[in-house]
Chain A
Amino acid sequence: MSDLKITGLHKHYGAYHAVKGIDLEVPSGEFTVLVGPSGCGKSTLLRTIAGLEEASAGSIEIGGKDVTWARPRDRDIAMVFQNYALYPYLNVYENIAFGLRARRVASAEVDKRVKRAAEMLGIAQLLERFPRELSGGQRQRVAIGRAIVRDALLFLFDEPLSNLDAQLRDDMRVEIKRLHQELGRTMIYVTHDQIEAMTLADRIALLRDGKIEQLGAPLDLFERPATRFVAGFLGSPKMNFLPATIETGEVILRDGTKLTLPPGRKAPNGQAVVLGLRPQHIAKAGASAAPGHVQLPSTIELVQPTGSRVQVSMPLGGISITAEFAAHEVTAPGEQVRIDIDMTRAVLIDPQTDKVI
């Protein structure tokens, strides 16, 4: 059974069309991440699911019930906001208990649930404190606590980690993933951070201009992107895009470099294409090329160590591309290397439609 079913959803703000006909079904217990660049309509979509925005057209079902026109409180949802949305005049205990009290849950039950949630989130010792006395990470835990005590059918997260520093964001990501496993609830999570999307999601809905560009498991989207936009959005460093043409079963780059056609891909002779190569699939060449791999000489232009790996820039096909090598494989710019391109993982994109061939 699906906990959330969205059909033909549109949202207009005056002349601005923010959400353009979204269809999405989220099975019970699934962690779905809505990801996309800012202004793509992901937050609007989430707020419309929550009932904080009114749908302009289409329908929303939660738990099999049509809630398109229902008030937020009648939708059986809990939501975590980016800015925590904690009440500064209530202590942590009362903040977590707020939703239960608003729904007139008996005090003994409130106490039990608040303490259990605080226990789960490791904030049991903070219950008497006020939000101003907490760190950013602790505040976000309280905000999550306030959502989980509600025991709602659907949990909505609106960029909950974007106000935290990098280290804390990693910790909280783990925490949210763990919570999802423990609670087994349906969660919809909005983020613009592709790492968060990849690591948390059972399924990613990648949005662009108010539409779902591609929907699928994180690795599906990463390995088999449907469009140039998806290919470019997911993955860090970004995928390299090289203009090329197809000739006699080979990919010819602008400077005449010849690469083998990715296996299973067919394109007519003379067709202009864009070749997509992930930096991870360009390595320092070994003794011999594996089947489907191409080896070429190149010169390192720029070296950016990241610790375990090193990002290097080098020319290929008349433009500068990025590759990712193991930490000590290159040392300085100007170094002559032989690179190994894994063409089995490359994607070919039709520049007319931006769709992957």
Chain B
Amino acid sequence: MTTVPFHRRKETKLVFRYLTAASLVVIFVFPIYWLFAISFKTPGEIFAFPPVWYPKSIQFNNYAVLFKDGDAKTVGNSLVLASVSTFFAMIFGTIAAYSLVRFRTGGENLAVWIISQRMMPPVAIVFPVFLFYVWLGWVDTYIGLIILYTAFSLPYVIWMMRGYIEDIPLELEESALIDGCSRWEVLWKVVFPMARSGLFATAVFTFIFSWNDFLFALVLTRTEVTTYTVQVTHYFGGQSNFWSKIAAMSVLGTIPVFITVATLQRYLVRGISMGAVKG
């Protein structure tokens, strides 16, 4: 009987590992690749059998249609709604978190009450909100969705920022107070810069939550502020599905998130791990 030398065994193990990793990557990345590929294909290529693995020539017609019909505007709507609501949620959430941490506002349990709101299924409140919004005349308006997204993101922002603010040494703030800062200046000059990574990480997630929202946008919009998530569903028809439009619109919807995550990756990793080491 021949024995396999030790180094050979190690190599085999490594090869096996790489093969497993590579096949997993293919399984997960393939749908994304397919989405991008379809968005550049002609209608003929989309339905060809056997499948066309990559478009013969890159053509932007599928995108051009979206812009020509004005459907691409829905990505702009999503962008405005998600960015503005994230901005307000971050400002108010951080201030609220600061108050919870430093002034013990609401005692020990308020923070838990706040986060518990996050656990509530959105579908439970969407219809009451709808009726309320009809009364206010806020259905299909920016302000309606911005307020709703802000309110829905606040518990998450407060909960996350609370952890990051607790990590800031109190002495830094006390030193600033003695040096001549007001509480607001302390927030601006000490708390924000100290919690910068956490702020960015939380903002990215808040943005993505609002960006990906489907339910509220479906119920609370008609034509004016339709978001891209709702727009995609318009292409599923009773007779046929517009795969080229679905793919192109989905790609348009992915790009802003991709850019956000790519630019803020540095803060994201630090921000998430900052939260992770906390007990």
Cβ of B177 and Cβ of A150 under 8 Å apart?
no
Contact of B177 among A73, A82, A88, A103 (CB under 8 A): A73
Cβ of B179 and Cβ of A89 under 8 Å apart?
no
User: Is A183 close to B, CB under 8 A?
Assistant: no
Contact with B along A92-108 (1 / 0, CB 8 A): 00000011001100000
Cβ of A72 and Cβ of B178 under 8 Å apart?
yes
Contact of B169 among A75, A79, A83 (CB under 8 A): A83
User: Is B31 close to A, CB under 8 A?
Assistant: no
Cβ of A85 and Cβ of B171 under 8 Å apart?
yes
**Interface residue tally on B, bucketed by range:** 10 to 19
- Which residues of chain A are near B189, meaning CB under 8 Å? 102
User: Is A52 close to B, CB under 8 A?
Assistant: yes
Cβ of A85 and Cβ of B193 under 8 Å apart?
no
Q: Which of A45-59 contact B (CB under 8 A)?
A: 50-52
Contact of B185 among A50, A75, A102 (CB under 8 A): A102
Cβ of B178 and Cβ of A89 under 8 Å apart?
no
B181 to chain A, nearest CB (A): 5
Decide yes or no: A78 and B178 within 8 Å by CB, A87-B193, A89-B193, A102-B185 being known contacts.
yes
User: Is A71 close to B, CB under 8 A?
Assistant: yes
B: which residues have CB within 8 A of A?
Answer: 169, 171-172, 174-182, 185, 189-190, 193-194, 196
User: Is A77 close to B, CB under 8 A?
Assistant: yes
- Which residues of chain B are near A229, meaning CB under 8 Å? none
CA distance A103 to B169 in the complex (A): 23
Main secondary structure of the interface of A (DSSP, over half): loop
With A73-B179, A83-B169, A99-B179 already in contact, 10 other A-B pairs whose C-beta atoms are closer than 8 Å: A72-B177, A73-B178, A73-B181, A75-B178, A87-B194, A89-B194, A102-B181, A103-B180, A146-B179, A150-B179
User: Is A81 close to B, CB under 8 A?
Assistant: yes
Contact of B180 among A51, A83, A89, A102 (CB under 8 A): A102
CA distance A98 to B185 in the complex (A): 12
- Which residues of chain B are near A79, meaning CB under 8 Å? 174-175, 178
Contact of B174 among A85, A103, A150 (CB under 8 A): A85
CA distance A150 to B189 in the complex (A): 18
CA distance A135 to B216 in the complex (A): 54
CA distance A224 to B196 in the complex (A): 55
> Which 6 pairs of residues, A with B, have the shortest CB-CB distance?
A99-B179, A102-B180, A85-B175, A85-B171, A103-B180, A81-B171
Contact of B172 among A73, A87, A150 (CB under 8 A): A87
* Shortest Cβ distance from A103 into B: residue: B180
Cβ of B179 and Cβ of A81 under 8 Å apart?
no
CA distance A71 to B178 in the complex (A): 8
A146 to chain B, nearest CB (A): 7
Cβ of A52 and Cβ of B174 under 8 Å apart?
yes
- Which residues of chain A are near B175, meaning CB under 8 Å? 79, 81, 85, 146
Decide yes or no: A52 and B180 within 8 Å by CB, A81-B171, A85-B172, A102-B185 being known contacts.
no
CA distance A85 to B190 in the complex (A): 11
- Which residues of chain A are near B185, meaning CB under 8 Å? 102
Cβ of B169 and Cβ of A102 under 8 Å apart?
no
Cβ of A98 and Cβ of B174 under 8 Å apart?
no
* Shortest Cβ distance from B185 into A: residue: A102
B173 to chain A, nearest CB (A): 9
- Which residues of chain B are near A99, meaning CB under 8 Å? 178-180
